[in-house]
Structure 1
Amino acid sequence: MATLRALECLVAVLDCGSVTEAAARLHLSQPALSHQIAALEREIGAPVLERLPRGVRPTAAGRAIVADARAALAAAERVVTTGRAVAGGSAGQLRIGCAESMTAGLLAPVLRAWHRKHAGVHLTLTESSSADALAELTASGQVDLAIGPRPSRWTGYASVIGQEEIVAVLPSAPEPSSAALTFAKIAEHPIVHYHPDNGLAAWLDETAAAHGVTLTAATRTRQATTAAQLAAAGLGIALVPTTALPATFPGAVRSLRPRRHRDIVCLTTTPNDPLLQRFEADLHRRGIPLPTAIATQLS
């Protein structure tokens, strides 16, 4: 196959009308340039240049291929330009996966900043209530980067963004209280539980069993944000991650005893990609936010 260097030599000779001038333009010796032209002629099986007493001109084959040669060189230049733009954060596409409960509090501010600073980067978002599902999306190449709790099945790159606490949510009481709740106490009340698709469902049941109690589900939902709202409305106690709680939450928030935390990680199969590194760095700078009103209730 003809090399880009050979095509570059052909175009330069035809533009300059001289092997000597073309060699000088490309910073090649005349023998090196002639070697590239000869290799191209062997590849296509016909001469591309006619040597004249003063200069050169294209043969029929040379005239036939020069337009495609110019197009190939222009395409190669676009490849380099686009690649540099992506590496510099001014172009490209970034496919992001995120736990549903973290989209608003953690991811949305970072996405908003990226739209301002990197307008040429196209961002797409896939949400999931399962950390293992996010890991599968990343491993299969359907997303470039996933943000969520640490999955149970993942052997690739994972960086810890921070930690979030699992808390109990219930309707606001007339007398505010910050007393932590045990699983034994929680089991005395109906629970806003989770659909099996949500990884919190199995975690709740396993943790309750480890404390020797069984939870009674009043209703089930796939989303932690919905569970918190249902608990605040009086349907039962919900156990939710703090990232699922808005800054102005109408219900009461209590810590568990003992307190429960989980890592929030960033997963990718291409950790050395410059575009991903930029986005991951912004996630680390953002950290795991905890609204002041929620922090006050948990203190």
Structure 2
Amino acid sequence: MSIEFTLKHLETFRAVVIAGSITKASHRIKLSQPSISQQIAKLEEVLTTQLLERNRTGVISLTPAGDYWFKAANDLLDRLAVNVDEYEHRFKNASVVVRLGATPALRGRFTAAAARIAQREPGFVKFELVYALSSAELMEMLRMHKLNFAIVRQPVLEDDRFAFAVEHLFEDQICWCVPAEISRQQLRQAFTPDANKADLHPALSSYVEIDPGVITHKASSDWFRNNLPFAAPTFSAPTFVSSVDFVVEGLATCHIPLSLLPNLTEGQRRKLQIVRVDNMSHQIMLAMPKHLLTLGPYARIFAALVEFCHTQYAPEMTTENSLTLAELLSGTEPADLSSRTERVSEIAGT
């Protein structure tokens, strides 16, 4: 069989399979749906076989031939990416280009530190920061070599963990974020079955609903429904970062990950109380294509990012105005709060 299709056909085919539908792939690779359909049709014509099956909702599944060519496309495109990476590093002025993918909660303190780490490398050319609302989206971009580093939740790595260098960064716990002006007594009162919302601070009757694309959307909605049934999703926001703005103004409460705290200003943190919620946490990992470990600058950047998270960033994921839900409900203050704050300040060098 003569080769009458191009790498572009294989890249588009792989993008559709990874995204799960032509519609989603269109958003990911910025190509129109008709163009994608034409490329898939051309590939099927050249191979004289059907590769994809589509149901009524547009979700695709692979035929046996499609499964074969998806694996073949992955192998070919991955090997090509390795060659391109090595070529750019060895022959194009030893250039170091870092494309880091993260969720918006990590903007600020984290991404600035990552940029400084990358900039220290000889041959550094560019640092590109790419945001996505979910780890699943970041993982898609990592598989398609649009990123060379990604900060993701552990479960999304399970299917192809062996293709990536992976290190644990921190445990990211989801917290209930409330205005600092609300007394602890009122917070406890809000959890009593016969709580009268007319007697409570108005912010306790409203919460910020996070974008459905964020993985914690359902768990957050369920938590408010079960624990504060009188509270309504009066506000909505696309990210945790924007959710905090409503709380800082004393308008509502919301859920945020602890990893957001180091990225808030001191002024914002003073206006917040943080209540850590049990059974709502994720293990956060750093992932990089494994072949990049053979390239010194990328291996050093990878190791430096891990060290930064372990020694500086994770210890900063707390605040003086913080307690667990159990401590709140029992009316006890954390006994070691002052010493814990001193230890965090010492580690952070503040």
TM-score (norm 1): 0.60
RCO (CA 8 Å, sep 6+): is it higher in 1 or 2? 1
Deviation, structure 1 residue 153: 6.8
Instruction: Identify the match of residue 319 of structure 2 among 291, 294, 297.
Output: 294
Deviation, structure 1 residue 212: 9.7
Q: C-alpha separation between the residues in 1 aligned to 2:149 and 2:283?
A: 16
Higher helix share: 2
Q: C-alpha separation between the residues in 2 aligned to 1:260 and 1:80?
A: 40
Q: Given the alignment of the two structures, is residue 162 of structure 1 paired with residue 170 of structure 2, yes or no?
A: yes
- CA 1:182–1:108 in structure 2 vs 1: closer, same or farther (change >3 Å)? farther
Q: Is the 8 A contact 1:169 1:251 kept in 2?
A: no
Q: Is the 8 A contact 1:132 1:153 kept in 2?
A: no
Q: C-alpha separation between the residues in 1 aligned to 2:277 and 2:126?
A: 44
State the partner residue of 1:49: none
Deviation, structure 1 residue 123: 1.9
Q: Is the 8 A contact 1:183 1:208 kept in 2?
A: no
State the partner residue of 1:129: 133
Deviation, structure 1 residue 122: 2.2
State the partner residue of 1:255: 275
- For residues 205-236 of structure 1, give each alpha carbon's deviation from its aligned partner in whole angstroms, at most 9, with x where no partner exists: 35556779586211111111111121121221
Q: Is the 8 A contact 2:170 2:314 kept in 1?
A: no
Q: Given the alignment of the two structures, is residue 278 of structure 1 paired with residue 282 of structure 2, yes or no?
A: no
Q: C-alpha separation between the residues in 2 aligned to 1:167 and 1:291?
A: 15
State the partner residue of 2:103: 99
State the partner residue of 1:216: 232
- CA 1:213–1:148 in structure 2 vs 1: closer, same or farther (change >3 Å)? farther
Q: How many residues align?
A: 219
- Sequence identity (%): 13
Structure 1 unmatched runs, 5+ = 1-78
Q: Is the 8 A contact 1:98 1:127 kept in 2?
A: yes
- For residues 260-289 of structure 1, give each alpha carbon's deviation from its aligned partner in whole angstroms, at most 9, with x where no partner exists: 432111123335533432222111111134
Q: Is the 8 A contact 1:106 1:286 kept in 2?
A: no
State the partner residue of 1:199: 215
Q: C-alpha separation between the residues in 1 aligned to 2:230 and 2:157?
A: 27
What is the identity, as a one-letter code, of the residue corresponding to 2:245?
Answer: Q
Q: CA RMSD in A?
A: 3.9
Rg: which structure is higher? 1
State the partner residue of 2:116: 112
Q: C-alpha separation between the residues in 1 aligned to 2:301 and 2:192?
A: 38
Q: C-alpha separation between the residues in 1 aligned to 2:223 and 2:298?
A: 35
Give the match's secondary structure for 2:216: helix
Q: C-alpha separation between the residues in 1 aligned to 2:230 and 2:283?
A: 26
What is the identity, as a one-letter code, of the residue corresponding to 1:264?
Answer: I
Q: C-alpha separation between the residues in 2 aligned to 1:251 and 1:137?
A: 36
Single out whichever of 117-126 and 194-203 deviates more from structure 2.
Answer: 117-126
Q: C-alpha separation between the residues in 2 aligned to 1:195 and 1:80?
A: 39
Q: C-alpha separation between the residues in 2 aligned to 1:292 and 1:142?
A: 29
Q: Is the 8 A contact 1:156 1:268 kept in 2?
A: no
Q: C-alpha separation between the residues in 2 aligned to 1:161 and 1:149?
A: 10
- For residues 9-37 of structure 1, give each alpha carbon's deviation from its aligned partner in whole angstroms, at most 9, with x where no partner exists: xxxxxxxxxxxxxxxxxxxxxxxxxxxxx
